[in-house]
Amino acid sequence: MRSLALFRYCASSTRLKSTLAIAGATLALAGCAVSKDRYAATEEAQQRQAFETANETKASANIDTQATYLQLVSQMQQQGLWFASLAHIDALEQRWGVTPDSTRVRADALRQTGQAVPAEAAYKRLIGTSLESAGYRGLGLIAGERGNFAESALLLRQAQRRTPTDGLLLSDLGYASLRAGQYEEARLPLMQALQLRPDSTQAQANLALYLELTSQRDQALALMDSSRMPEATRQAVRAAAMQMRGQTAPVAAVSPAMPTVAAAGETSPGIRDEAIATPLALKASRWAGMGGVRTANQLNPGAEAATSAPSSGTTSRGTP
């Protein structure tokens, strides 16, 4: 009996040990699985972080190139950050030296910040380079700001010969010709501008101005109707035509000034409505993604005197 009891105890003890051993092995395996899962998750997170770090490093390297830096400057200028862009142009030229591209964006920034004399010098440095058209264009705009519209038209024509399909440049040339009293010379570039840029409010209104000045009022009205020109813009076109015909206050020469409104919110003589685009002015083309306008009041200060609408002190996001 004692032997039988001892045998049963030993058997039970053996089964218990086996059970405990199996349980221990199971727990050990489970622990290994958990550890593996945790290790895999940690390794995946580390790989993801390394990938993101590599991408950030690559992006920084891409930004740290001359072409991308120039693109950044152009974007800043498109947003109206002209003063800030000058600081970045200094940094760009310190690292990579002066190039025609950096000279062009510097000239635009100088002109937009009311520094006409150094801007003019910078534009002249573009003559004879691959950006010669931009140089003549800038010089033409400065001449227009000074009220020298015959000279402005001459310089803009030089620019147009080098970039003949720039619709906004053609519109500027036509407007300068109108202001210089060269109505016949204005017709062709204004017609070309409208067909090259049919959705441009600048091209539409400058051509309408030409039609008003040449007593083609039915055609002017048809153009205004077909382009759905706002009533305020129509009034601005007619008012400018009257001024240029000498029927109201004379149009005085404009002095270099800070630009006042952006392309999306330009205003017209005697009218202040940011939803209305009024293109009665010399406006710069969109070189390398840049753009903007100058208001009619700035290039037609006689309208300002007649209407008492302020023409300075607001913020610009564009070029004249």
Sign of the Cα pseudo-torsion (63, 68, 74, 78, in order): negative
In a domain, 93, yes or no: yes
**Helix (H/G/I), strand (E/B), else coil: 310:** coil
In a domain, 47, yes or no: no
Residue 268 bridge partners (DSSP): 271
In a domain, 313, yes or no: no
Q: What is the DSSP string of 81-145?
A: -HHHHHHHHHHHHHHH---HHHHHHHHHHHHHTT-HHHHHHHHHHTTTSTTHHHHHHHHHHHHHH
pLDDT at 253: 36
The parts of the chain modelled with pLDDT lower than 50 are: 4-7, 27-29, 34, 56-61, 248-278, 285-320
Cβ contacts of 293 within 8 Å, gap of 6 or more:
202, 259, 261, 262, 263, 266, 277, 279, 281, 283, 284, 318, 319, 320
In a domain, 91, yes or no: yes
pLDDT at 64: 78
Look up the domain containing 130 and give its range.
66-307
pLDDT at 246: 85
pLDDT at 98: 96
pLDDT at 260: 29
Q: How many CA atoms lie within 13 A of 216 on its CB side?
A: 13
Please report, for residues 130, 210, 296, 302, the alpha-carbon distance to residue 245 in angstroms, rounded to integers and kept in the order given: 40, 12, 16, 13
What CATH number does the domain containing 248 carry? Answer: 1.25.40.10
What's the whole-model pTM score? 0.62
pLDDT at 198: 95
| Contact (CB, 8 A) for 189 and 167 | no
In a domain, 25, yes or no: no
- Residues 88-119: tens digit of each pLDDT: 999 999 999 999 999 999 999 999 999 999 99
| Contact (CB, 8 A) for 211 and 240 | no
**Helix (H/G/I), strand (E/B), else coil: 196:** helix
In a domain, 6, yes or no: no
- Residues 48-86: tens digit of each pLDDT: 665 555 554 444 445 679 999 999 999 999 999 999 999
| Contact (CB, 8 A) for 281 and 293 | yes
pLDDT at 14: 56
Domain count, the chain: 1
In a domain, 84, yes or no: yes
